[in-house]
Amino acid sequence: MVARRARWTAVEIAFWVAAAACYFLFPAKLVLLTQMLIGGLFAMSLDLLLGYGGIPSFGHAAFFGLGAYAAGLLAAHGWGEPLSGVLFGGLAAGGLGLAFSSVIAKVRGAAVLMVTLCIGLLLFEAASRMPWLTGGDTGLQGIDMWPLLGLFEFDLFGRTAFWYAYAVSFLLYLAARRYVHSPEGLALKGIRENHDRVPMLGVSTARRKMIAFTISATIAGMAGALLAQTTQIVALETLSFERSVAALVMLIVGGLGTLIGGFIGAAAFIWARDVLSALNPVYWMFWLGLILIALVLTSRGGLVGTLALLADYLARKRHPR
């Protein structure tokens, strides 16, 4: 069976073009833009699970943070090559994801939330209790990155970091796109739509869920690794419950089950946090809470849904039937 080539939507193309354009439009904001890309990649990894498989994760920061620490430790201990570092972070997180995936495949409903929550808490505690390895509360420091491909030095302005994050995110986006449009991804969607009927088609739901969870953890780990490499520090916060919640918010703001939604949501979320927390961090919490409440009560489809409606409307206006 050959996967049908999925058509690119206007929103997807617009996002990747706009992201590249932002490099030239906002040269003073490269650090923030890089964080948006990384946040987007992390949210997209969660989308594979939640948006396509209907499996919520309440502790996805475990994989993000593990990837960050793995890549950070590798660089801090003398191997600062960026690309192998990202792969290493992905492998570490993917390995943990694989280890826990059979548990995730077994439980359903509220128990999934609790199990993923426990995984997140476990990793957070482990990292905070091993200061000799992770730096504890002060974070992991001394991450020394080598030039990218041996050519591009990571500079103070974040120019290399931006294009590096852009390229890795884009490649992983392409890979995720292929995955969700493959038979494997279609089976995953089937599980979301009707969990009890999929086994009747001869498809093992447990196996599909395990694969999805492992892939999602791997991509989350790579996103974490990117963050460690581009900021050259790993804070304990990368493993926190708040980080997991933030990824959920980004994804739901952007739009579930669209892949690009995670990126758009992350851009909106990180931009809003930057503006609002500059006023006062307490206000940011307040607004974050209100945004969450409003989202659940009103939205269906998130920003991507709204943008798609808008694009649809404009297209119809231009070519009236």
Partner 1 sequence: MLGFVNILLGGIAYGFVLFLMAGGLSITLGLMGFANMAHAALAMVGGYTAALLIGKAGWPFLAAVATAGATAALTGAILERTLFRRLYQASELEQVLLTIGVVYVAIAAATFLVGPEQMAIAVPAWLDGNLHLGPVDLNRYRLFLIVSGLVLLVSLVRLIDHTTFGAKIRAAVFNRRMTASCGIDVDKLYALAFALGSALAGIGGALSVKLLGLDPNFPIKFLTELLIVVSVGGLGSLRGTFLAAMLFGIIDVVGKYLLPEIGAFIIYATALALLTVRPQGLIGRPR
By the criterion CB under 8 A, which residues form the site for partner 1?
50, 56, 58, 103, 106-111, 113-115, 117-119, 121-122, 125-126, 128-129, 241-242, 245, 248-249, 252, 282-283, 285-286, 288-293, 295-297
* CB nearer partner 1, residue 30 or residue 50: 50
Handedness of CA 279, 238, 56, 19 (dihedral sign): positive
Q: Which is nearer to partner 1, 107 or 311 (CB)?
A: 107
Q: In whole angstroms, what is the distance from residue 49 CA to residue 61 CA?
A: 14
**Nearest approach, Cβ of 223 to partner 1 (angstroms)?**
21
Question: Of 40 and 54, which has the nearer Cβ to partner 1?
Answer: 54
CB of 54 to partner 1, least distance (A): 9
C-alpha distances in angstroms, 7 versus 12, 124, 262, 266?
10, 40, 19, 23
Alpha helix stretches (DSSP H) within the chain = 10-25, 30-47, 53, 61-76, 82-106, 110-128, 131-134, 159-180, 183-193, 205-231, 241-254, 260-279, 281-298, 302-318
**Quick one: 68 or 247, whose CB is closer to partner 1?**
247
In whole angstroms, the minimum distance from the beta carbon of 120 to partner 1 comes to 9
Between 27 and 131, whose beta carbon lies closer to partner 1?
A: 131
In the complex, minimum distance from the CB of residue 285 to partner 1, in angstroms, rounded to a whole number = 4
First CA to last CA distance, the chain: 36
Minimum CB–partner distance for residue 66 and partner 1 (Å):
15
Kindly report the backbone phi and psi dihedral angles of residue 177, in degrees, each rounded to the nearest multiple of 5, phi listed first: -60, -45
